[in-house]
Structure 1
């Protein structure tokens, strides 16, 4: 199936805005171009605040969204997209406000360090530092139910979600109630070179991977390349989203099936006619709105009875 007409319009507009493929654009320029294209935040939110979470590297900036003062709200730790090299707290502002309101969850958005200035494992370390901070139930989350905290991310953030879930298990850390990955690449491999757009091509994949993990020996680590893991048992339930037009689609879907084969509860959804990057485009793409509804429903199904002790 080709791109839907609405998706094709977005891809064409993106091509005009960028002027050339992403892999040819210097990182500072690419950051500026993508930041300028961020969807403006217009949805009211009960409360939001920016904080700095302590870490060995000097602190991780986060933004917290709270839909109400109700006690016992679940928490979503969100990791943004951007090939590990671009993006930040403003990137998903509108989407996360809407998600917080619709699902009744506190969202903690992580501004992890970016490559090439900060290569692997900087982003992973930052996201883990935020998770460990959340599990201490700090004052900023004092009324939240961190027993129902989940990991979630889009693209590179989805890859970090997969990797973090494995690392938490291996280190004996408190486990998330679920892992949610929107076309996060589960393997550092182009499995569908025929499915490229200006929003992600095989050349873009290789460029971003080279920026994030230039040492080829490190790419065998499951914390870089989640599909390299030999043991997927004991991982949290997963909500895995793929786009039909995505050069890494089949590798990620294979990882989801391997999770299932290892006894992990997995909900795998492929969105036909959609391209990598579609999920947060809810104002322009009907399938993105459908995905948003599915995500809200999934978050609402996470049981309140789950305990932190049970997730060790």
Structure 2
């Protein structure tokens, strides 16, 4: 089906705001344009603080959201979208406030390094650094239950969620209780060229991928294209959402089915009439609000057994 009327309005507004395709825009200009279009944060939250996580690269900025002073809240590590080349901590500020409150979780949003200045593996290394920081119960998370933690992300952040889950498994590190990926591309290939919008076209995909992994010979690594992994056994349960209008949709859904075939519990939802990028647009798109509620439900199910035991 075509874009829903509401989604078409969003796409038209984005086209007017951007003025030209993303792949024809200098990356600094695109960063500024997308930052200017970020939803303003209006939802009050009990605590929100910016911290720099120590790293070999000079530190990874994170933003921590805490909905209350309750002790023992579980943790969600969030990775933003942006093709590995755009995005920052302000991009999902309003969305993550709402998610923290609705799910009753501490959210740690990661401002990973961006391409082309910092190609792969910079983003993945930063996300791994933050995960390891969370697991040692730093002072900023002293009252949270860091043993109950989930990885989550949108688009490039969803791919980083898949990749980091594999790397944690492969290196014997502590796994998340679940991985939540919102149309995270599972392989660097365009599987649905007919589904292009101004928010993501096949040309945009290749432009972003060329910045993140300039050497195409490296793209078969499962830490870049998680769908290339031979063995998917032992990975965390996955919640995967896809948009019907997405140039990479089928590759991501294929990965979800392969996870399921490998014995990984998978919840897969495709949203008809929605485009890549819709998930955090809860103010404009009813399906985004539906997906938000599904994510909250997923987190409640993942964390509820432990909460019940603790009580």
SS at match of 1:49: strand
- Output the CA distance in 2 between the equivalents of 1:208 and 1:229: 22
* Higher mean C-alpha displacement, 145-154 vs 105-114: 145-154
- The reply on whether 1:211 has 2:211 as its aligned counterpart is yes
Does the Cα contact within 8 Å between 1:80 and 1:156 map onto a contact in 2? yes
Alignment match, 1:194: 194
Aligned partners of 2:85 and 2:212 also within 8 Å: yes
- Summarize the alignment of residues 201-240 of structure 1 with structure 2, pairs less than 5 Å apart: 201-240=201-240
CA distance in 2, matches of 1:259, 1:119: 27
Alignment match, 2:287:
287
Q: Report the Cα offset of residue 129 of structure 1.
A: 0.1
Instruction: Work out whether residues 15 and 198 of structure 1, in 8 Å CA contact, stay in contact via their aligned partners in 2.
Output: yes
Number of residue equivalences: 307
Query: 1:230: Cα distance to partner?
Result: 0.4
**Cα offset for 1:65?**
0.2
8 Å contact 1:11–1:197 — kept in the other structure?
A: yes
Q: CA deviation at 1:304?
A: 5.2
> Helix, strand or coil for the counterpart of 2:44?
coil
- List, as ranges, runs of 4+ consecutive aligned residues in structure 1 with deviation greater than 3 Å: 303-306
Query: Alpha-carbon deviations, 1:175-225, whole Å to 9, x = none?
Result: 000000000100110000000100000000000000000011211110001
Hey, what's the Cα distance between the residues in 1 that align with 2:74 and 2:53? 19
1:177 aligns with 177
> Partners of 1:26 and 1:118 in 2: how far apart?
16
Residue 137, structure 1, aligned to residue 140, structure 2: no
CA offset digits 1:85-131 (Å, max 9, x no partner): 00000000000000001100000000000000000000000000000
Superposition deviation, residue 303 in structure 1 = 3.8
Question: How far, CA to CA, are the matches of 1:304 and 1:280 in structure 2?
Answer: 24
CA offsets 1:221-260 (integer angstroms, 9 cap, x no match) = 1000101100000000000000000000000000000000
5 Å-filtered alignment, 1:45-64, equals 45-64=45-64
In structure 2, how many angstroms separate the alpha carbons of the residues matched to 1:49 and 1:255? 35
CA distance in 2, matches of 1:302, 1:230: 27
- Corresponding position of 1:29: 29
> Aligned partners of 1:52, 1:197: CA distance in 2, in Å?
36
Aligned residue number for residue 309 of structure 2? none
- How far apart, CA to CA, are the structure 2 residues paired with 1:217 and 1:15? 33
Matches within 5 A, 1:1-312: 1-303=1-303
Q: Secondary structure at the match of 2:82?
A: coil
Task: Give, in whole Å, the separation in 2 of the partners of 1:66 and 1:157.
Answer: 21
Alignment check: 8 A CA contact 1:148 1:304 kept? no
TM-score by length of 2: 0.97
Q: Distance in 2 between matches of 1:303 and 1:286?
A: 26
Q: Could you say which residue in structure 2 is the equivalent of 1:309?
A: none
CA distance in 2, matches of 1:233, 1:24: 40
Equivalent-residue separation in structure 1 for 2:83 and 2:220 (angstroms): 18
CA gap 1:41/1:69 in 2 versus in 1, 3 angstroms: same
Distance 2:301 2:220 in 1: 35
